[in-house]
C-alpha cells in the first residue's frame, strides 16, 4: 500500500493573522480602561459602605 504525499491545503501566514491581532489589540485598548473603571467603582462603593456601617 503506497503512501500518498501530504499536500498543504491552507498555509497560515503573518498576513492572515495581522487583522486578528490588530482587532484583539484594539479591543483590549478599549476594554481594559472600562474594566478598570468598573472595578474601581465597585471597590469604592464597597469601601464607602464599610466606613458608613462602621460609624452607625
Q: Does 1 score more than 90 pLDDT?
A: no
Query: CA distances (Å), 46 to each of 30, 37, 38, 49, in order?
Result: 25, 14, 12, 5
Query: CA distances (Å), 4 to each of 1, 10, 11, in order?
Result: 9, 18, 19
Which residue has better confidence, 16 or 4? 16
- Using DSSP, state whether 8 is helix, strand or coil: coil
Q: Does 8 score more than 70 pLDDT?
A: no
Q: What integer pLDDT is reported at residue 28 of this predicted model?
A: 93
Global confidence as pTM: 0.59
List the helix and strand counts (H, then E) for the chain. Answer: 1, 0
List the chain domain ranges: 14-55
* pLDDT, tens digit, 9 for 90 and up, residues 15-48: 999 999 999 999 999 999 999 999 999 999 999 9
Backbone angles phi and psi of 28, in degrees to 5:
-70, -35
Amino acid at each position: 500500500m503506497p503512501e500518498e504525499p501530504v499536500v498543504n491545503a491552507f498555509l497560515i501566514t503573518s498576513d492572515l493573522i495581522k487583522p486578528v491581532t490588530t482587532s484583539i489589540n484594539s479591543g483590549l485598548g478599549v476594554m481594559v480602561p472600562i474594566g478598570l473603571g468598573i472595578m474601581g467603582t465597585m471597590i469604592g462603593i464597597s469601601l464607602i459602605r464599610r466606613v458608613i456601617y462602621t460609624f452607625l
